[in-house]
Structures are given as structure tokens and as C-alpha cells.
Structure 1
Amino acid sequence: MPRARPPSHTGETTEKAKRPFRESADMTEPSAASIAFRDARVLDGSGRPPFTASVRVADGRIDAISDAPLDADRVVDLDGSYLAPGFIDMHAHSELRLFEHPGAAEKLTQGITTEVLGQDGVSVAPVPATLTDEWEERVKSLDGSLDETWPWHTVDGYLSALEAAAPAVNCAYYAPHGNIRSMLAGFEDRPLSEEHVVAAGPVTSQRLASPGPGSENPPGELEALRQELEVALEEGAFGMSKGMIYPPSSYARDDELVALADTLAKRDSFMVSHVWNETDRVVESIDRYLDICRRGGCHAHVSHLKVGGQQNWGNSEAVLELFDDATERGQRVTFDQYPYTAGSTMLTALLPPWARQGESDDILDRLRSEDTRARIVDDISQPGDWENLAYAAGTWDNILITRTGTGHYQGETIEDIAAEMDRGPVDAMCELLVAEDLDVTMADFVMAEEDIERFLADDRGTFCTDGIFGGKPHPRAIGAFGRILERYVRERDVLSPELMSYKAAGNPADILGLRDRGYVREGYVADLVAFDLDSVSANATYEDPFQYTDGMAYVLVGGDIAVRDGEPTGARNGAVLRSYEEWGGATRPELDRAAGD
């Protein structure tokens, strides 16, 4: 298979002059009684063409939008540059990073003002007390780690802890299916019982273990799972994520997922899925997912939509036809996407499902066996009924190590590492996983530009970084939104600035049910980004990922200036968003503001 890796500097750029914006007052402080942006080319988030206006911010909200120049304590002349709603990163992995790096400079400099956490069905809450250590091990490659044992067990506990960390960006959270499932079945690969099972191991919820006086018919496991999802939603989750290649979320049977979709539908909420297969069976997997959501009655959102493996390139057309059919039947379907030809995840995702079963120690013991390694070689050398990312990559030179717990081998391919170890590639991969206690992430070069562009042009989509930090991370964590503007709006004209703004802000806000965010409208929260499209440059590369995006002149979060002249100010005015507060009740509001609501 041909090498799929893009040029080292993703989206070649030339030196661009920064446009100096004229300011009428000292802007060194991050807040002011009022700020007016004059001569702004406003992208209001609805997808409508831009219009020229003055926009004033006061007390954290958009105070006025006018054809005439507006006065304020501080006035910024944008000289025709764009002013848009702050971008929403619909798939982020900053759950623990925000405790150590609450300033979130790598996101703010992309124009991101809100991150959505709790992805892929595996995250940091809820967690049974008896499995906290195991969950800390399982998610550290995706979500990072803390220097202390997690002090929370519930969604509310995590959100409260995050709030105390005072992040610079707004944060929303999904209820991760795998975490909820572990409350009932730990990390066991089995169907959930319809019968009540007395808490005896992983289950720590007193409500489940002891339903209380007068409960003659305590819930079976499946009903208890639905109740745990209800609790997570009541504590602030916006929907439920699932990850069908990540245990224990991957252990769900379809009837279990339909039952959870029904629970979500009762609140007009939605399910978010990393589907079973994004390569050889991507069309089949998405069709299966849409059917589950249709049977349960909830809105379906596909995580990091892609088509992997050269033999599958072009199947984006078939995927969008599935979406068209679902839309025609009245089903709501949306997705998020990052604009790179490489994905990134835990290196353990290359292992066949049987090799990933059990707790971390079980996996490590298995990987030490020569017989296991020989079986892995056989399994990944050919297509199968599982997500075979190694086969999709085509060559071990297309598997790049981005992070290890020790820092060794970062920035090298499996092919490089195998040569250094004088071992076969699978043997080297297993040795690396054992040596690092499974704490390894990778970038896998498996996608084609034609599929990326086809998805980017579809207005049902949203954008994400899917940023996994540590080591030398995939550049999407630092450059995704800048790359969309630079490469696909300005250079390739794949989507217009107004469609980009709708997909980056308005559509995500509607999906989440954020009634006063995602649009440039009077009375809305002042999450805003001002940028000169000609100056936008996504500088992050695979070789040097921690290079911030240029061109975002101002970024406001809740009315405070978080970025000025492209530089973070240190302001930390992000809000931890809770569903019931943003919805104004227990049910997600129906929002379609692109149609003028």
C-alpha cells in the first residue's frame, strides 16, 4: 500500500503579515465594562452570508449589533476582518489536562472557546470506587493523569472539581457508556442481565446495591444501567458517548444500546459513537449505529467521521447516502470531524479484541506470551470482522508513536522501533506496550483527502480536535480549526467562511442544546473570535506539534479577552456547562437557529 503520510508541514504556508487592529484604549487587561468591535465582517453562526456591523459586548454578553458604529469603554476596529462565534471542539480529551493546564492556550489560539469532554465511551466519571485505579490506568493515554487519586466518583463530582480548576475555556461533558457499564459489570464481556444482581465487586452505587425500603422488585442490570445514565444526565451530562472498539463500552450488545437510546430519547438527548469499524466495514457499522438510534428514538451523532484504509477510500459517498436516507425518514444525524489523513488513539487499539479483554494486568500478561504474539501476527495480517487498524495502515511505517509513559521512541514509527530492537513489528509493538505498561499513543495514517473534503462540505457536520496530549501529539490537538480555515476555506474553497462558522459554532450549539451560545446575537454569551482569514496559519506539524495557530486576533470567553493579537492573555473565564442549566430543564430544547429560530 502506498505511504499515506502527508507533508511534514500540514498545509504549506508562506509568511503572512499580521493585520494591526486599531484600539482606542489600553487592552492589556482581559476584561472591561464594555468592548465594541467596529467594521466587523460578522459570521453569525447560522450559515448566512457575512454582514458588516459593529458588535458591542457588555457584562459578558453581546449587548448590541448595529450598522452604525457603537461606542464602548474599549473600541477595536477590525477593518473588515471576520467576527464569529467562538468555536466548539465537539470531541476533546482534555478531562485531566485542564487541571494542570487550565489556560488551554493550544485551544484558545485556534479560536476554540468550548470543549466537549467524556468521549468514546471511556472517560473519568462516573467510576466505581473499587475500579478507580483501573480507570486511571485505562484512560491516561487518552485523557492524561493527575498526581493524586481521583477525588470524585460521579459526574457531578468531576464537574465540580473541574469548575474549581477555573479553566480558560467552557467545558461540556458526555456520560461515557463504558464507565456506566462498569458500575454493573466491571470489565466483563457479557450481556447484562434482566435480573437484579446484588452488588458484589465493581458496583458501588448504594442505590443499585440496596434499592431501598419497599422496593420488592429491584431493577435488573439493564434497567439499572438506564438509571445510571439518568443520574449522569441529571448531574449535567449532555448525552451519552460510546466507543465500540474500547472495552468495556465495546462489550455492549445491541439491545443494551437500544435501551439506552430510548432513555436518551425521553429527554430529546442524543448518542455519540465511535462506531465498530471505520475501515473495511465503515458503511455497515454506521448503518448499524443509525438503526440502533432509530429503534431507540434518539438523535445519532458519529464521532470523528472517517474512512480508513486505501481499499475503502471513496466510501464517504456511501456514508453520506446513509445520512441522506436517515434524514429523509425524519431521523436527525450529525457528526464531528478533524481535517487530517492520520487518526490517533491508544496503541492497544491495534490489538485484536481478544487481546484487549480484562483488566490492564491481564492484557500485559497476555502480551508477554510468544504464543499470543504469534496469534496477533496472524490476525492483523488479513482483514477480519474487527477494526484492524494495522492492516488499514498498510505498512508499519504508517504507525507513528506520539507518546509513551517514559518518553522513549516518541516520534518514531513501529518500523523504526522494530529495526532498533531487531525484532518483527508485532513483537516490537508488544515489547513497547509491556515496557510502557500500555501507556502508548500513536498516529495512524489511513485516510484520503477526497473523503475528508467530502465530509467537510456536508452541513450536518461539526469539527473537533480529538486532541490527545503528551509526548509529540498529533498536530490536530493544536491546529485542527486553523487548518480548516487555512487549507479548506482559504486555499481549497471546500467550504465557505459562513459554512465553516455554522459547523464550528452554530450547529454544535444546536446539537448540545445551548440556548444562548454559538451565534452572534444580541443577548447571547460573548464567546467570540475575530480573525483575518489571510493571516490564519496552522503551524503544528507531526515533527513539531506544539506550535500555536496564527491569525486569531481576538478570542473572548464570556466577554473576557482570552487572546489578544494572537497571544493568550491568561484570562480564565470558562464556564463548566451542565445540561439541565443550559437546557432550562430536564429536556434538551429543539433548536434550529440556522432556520431563523
Structure 2
Amino acid sequence: MRKIKFFSLFIFLISCSQNDFDILILNGSIIDGSGKSSYHGDIGIKDGLIIEIGDLSDKTGQSIINAKDLIVSPGFIDSHTHAIRGIFNVPTAESSLLQGVTTLTDGNDGTSPFPIDAHYKKITNTKISPNWAVFVGQGTVRQEIMGLDNREATKKEISQMKDMIKDAMQDGALGISTGLFYVPGNFSSTEEIIELSKIVSDYGGIYISHMRDEAAEIIKSINETINIGIQAKIPVQITHHKIIGKKNWGSSIETLALIDEARSNNIQVSIDQYPYTASQTSIRALIPQWAQAGGRSELLKRINDPEIRKILIQGIVEKILFDRGGGDPKNVFISKNTWDTSMEGKNLADLCIDSNLEPTPENAALIV
């Protein structure tokens, strides 16, 4: 009996080895990512690699997939995620894979893990399902060297930041990201960003940016971003391009024209955009950046100073009316609050009412 079982297994292995491919996808409408129109064909895969594309109807596969009336394409790359917040808890990342997204990037908006090498080792040990890559965050690097100081970097500090950027690129970072709207990135000069980006350029990386302003000063921010690319000789990606503030609507005509002009002059600049009319970020986006210098303890000191508090409240009111607040406290929703989950799902107007206050921008600023 043992000889019979062995013989049967041997025959099975031989038959498997005689297949042309491990996976054979037949009858699909192929979009190959090259920019060409879709075309009908079959795909043969072996050892995890696409070996052949064409008419493979006479070939065999260990696994055969009939893709008739379906589109076959490379996995999508999500070029801007914050998946690091959940990838270690849900390493299978079904929310991405089920949409055809097979590669995730993180380290966006100026914030990233560091050191990059240690992060990649953790990702590898977690055995996540999607492909993964990160940018090095300029804000992360600056905070490591300078804390949350609102000042220009010294030559020594820039040199130290360059060394960190160099290490990150050698560890496999895709490039450098900035969050010039956020602290501490907002405290950085354009010249500082250019100097750090030059290191990234030397390694063939790219520059991606949540720009300094996406509301009233967006034209200035577009020009700054393009100039960084020119001066550092580095490809530029403008992150989630949008126009914030109703009175600024229509400015995209000019911003897109600036990008088109740059591209016509062989400057490598591109944008990405999300297909909805809201944005998600920290409630700190409503607090003026200058007030956040030095961190939480310094912010609390400013809040407790009556004169500074007045200026701070007015700054928050302006952001509610003309910037991130969408013109009304009811447009600002709390999606997550770890220290008081009862706030989740409520907007600033709701929280004003809960505190027996009229839902005005001024009272909403007090809630913030």
C-alpha cells in the first residue's frame, strides 16, 4: 500500500511540473499600465513573475482563471496613505487589496517612521499582504534635531538633518515628504527644504508635499513647490491638490495653469487629488501654527495668557470661517477622540450646544 501511495504522489508531481505556468489567466481585457488602449489576451505567470502575454490558449497552467468580460491590470499603487496607523493591527489590508490596490506608501505630509531601516524590518517581520514603501518625513527629521522651535535652522542643524536624510535614502526611502502646513514643517524656510531635497535628488528620490497653504495663499505655495523642484533638481508631487475656502474657489484655474506651464518647460511636477469635498486631519489644523511652537506645554501657556488667548481665539475663528472650518462650525466633525469617545461623530456646533453655548465661530473656537 505504501508503494502505491508513493507512486501516485510521484505521478502527481510530474504532471504539475509539466504545466507551462503556475497561473494562467485567459480571455481577459488587459490594461497593462503603459498608456496603450486595452487589448484582449492571456497572461502566463510562473514563480511569481509574468512570463508571457498573448494567445496562450494552447498552454497549460496549474491554476487557470477565466477572465472573460473582466479587466486584468497591474495592481494599483496608492501614492498617499496613512496606513501605518493600522497596518500592524490589520496586516492583510483587505480594504486596499479588495479595491485592487497592491502597493501602499506612507511617510507622507512630513511625518514618517525613523530610522527607515528599523521600520522596514518591522514591516517584514509583520508579514503584511500589500507591497510597502515609505518616504522620509522632513518634519520628523526637523523635530529630531530642532524640536518644535519656530526659527530658521543653523548651518550645523541643516548638516545634521542632511545626514539623517542620507541615512533614510540609503535605507530605501522613496524620497522626502513635507507638511509645510503643519508644525514643525511650517517653520522651515524654502531654502532649508531645497538643501534637504538636494540630498534626496542625489539618490534618485522624489519630493512630495502637503503645501504650506491650500487656501488664500495657494498660488504662492504652488510657486514655492515648483521652485523647490527646480532648485533641488528633483521631481515634485503636489499632494491632494485642492482649494480650501469658498472665496478661493476657482483658483484652480490658475494653479493648474502654473503646473501645465512648468511641465511644458520640462519641469517634473505632478499632482494627486481625492474625489470628495472634505478633508481629514488633526483638530490642530484650526490652531495657528505660531501658537503650537514649542509643543503642548508652550501652547497651554499661551492659552492661559489673557492677551495671547484673544489673538489665538481670533486666529481659530478665521480658520473656521475662511480655511479648514468650511465657513461654519457645523462643517467640522470629530471622527476620532481617544480621550472622550462621546465626541466622535459630532461637529463643533453640536459640541457648542452640549456646552450650552450658541454654535457661533467664536464659541466653537473656545471648544477647540
TM-score normalised by L of structure 1:
0.55
- On the 8 A contact 1:239/1:264 being kept in 2, the answer is yes
Q: What is aligned with 1:362?
A: 298
Q: What is aligned with 1:51?
A: 39
Residue of 117, 135, 143 corresponding to 1:174: 135
- On the 8 A contact 2:229/2:268 being kept in 1, the answer is no
Aligned-residue Cα RMSD (Å) equals: 2.1
Residue 402 in 1 paired to residue 338 in 2?
A: no
When the two structures are aligned, how many residues end up with a matched partner?
343
Question: What secondary structure is seen at the aligned counterpart in 2 of 1:167?
Answer: coil
- Counterparts in 2 of 1:77-476, with a 5 A limit? 77-125=66-114, 154-194=115-155, 220-367=156-303, 372-382=308-318, 388-390=323-325, 393-405=326-338, 406-423=340-357, 425-428=361-364, 430-431=366-367
User: Alpha-carbon deviation of 1:368?
Assistant: 5.7
Amino acid at match of 1:182: Q
Distance in 2 (alpha carbons) for counterparts of 1:367 and 1:40: 62
Distance in 1 (alpha carbons) for counterparts of 2:318 and 2:344: 27
Distance in 1 (alpha carbons) for counterparts of 2:202 and 2:43: 39
Amino acid at match of 2:164: E
**Higher RCO by CA contacts (8 Å cutoff, separation 6 or greater):** 1
- On the 8 A contact 1:122/1:246 being kept in 2, the answer is no
Q: Deviations over 1:373-392 (max 9, x none)?
A: 532332244489xx9322xx
Distance in 1 (alpha carbons) for counterparts of 2:362 and 2:127: 43
Question: What secondary structure is seen at the aligned counterpart in 2 of 1:38?
Answer: strand
The 1:426/1:61 distance shift into structure 2, 3 A limit, reads farther
Distance in 1 (alpha carbons) for counterparts of 2:352 and 2:285: 18
Q: Deviations over 1:248-294 (max 9, x none)?
A: 12211111111122222222321111001111121221111111221
The 1:368/1:113 distance shift into structure 2, 3 A limit, reads farther
Distance in 1 (alpha carbons) for counterparts of 2:257 and 2:301: 44
Distance in 2 (alpha carbons) for counterparts of 1:271 and 1:223: 19
Q: What is aligned with 2:9?
A: none
- On the 8 A contact 2:147/2:294 being kept in 1, the answer is no
Distance in 2 (alpha carbons) for counterparts of 1:347 and 1:310: 20
Larger Rg: 2
Distance in 2 (alpha carbons) for counterparts of 1:286 and 1:414: 31
The 1:383/1:160 distance shift into structure 2, 3 A limit, reads closer
TM-score normalised by L of structure 2:
0.87
User: Alpha-carbon deviation of 1:426?
Assistant: 4.9
Question: What secondary structure is seen at the aligned counterpart in 2 of 1:343?
Answer: coil
The 1:295/1:331 distance shift into structure 2, 3 A limit, reads same
- On the 8 A contact 2:107/2:134 being kept in 1, the answer is yes
Distance in 2 (alpha carbons) for counterparts of 1:243 and 1:430: 26
Q: Deviations over 1:481-528 (max 9, x none)?
A: xxxxxxxxxxxxxxxxxxxxxxxxxxxxxxxxxxxxxxxxxxxxxxxx
Structure whose residues are more often helix by fraction: 2
Amino acid at match of 1:315: S
Distance in 2 (alpha carbons) for counterparts of 1:109 and 1:370: 53
Q: Deviations over 1:438-488 (max 9, x none)?
A: xxxxxxxxxxxxxxxxxxxxxxxxxxxxxxxxxxxxxxxxxxxxxxxxxxx
Higher mean displacement: 239-248 or 398-407: 398-407
Q: Deviations over 1:283-315 (max 9, x none)?
A: 221111111221121111111111122222222
Distance in 1 (alpha carbons) for counterparts of 2:224 and 2:199: 19
User: Alpha-carbon deviation of 1:65?
Assistant: 0.9
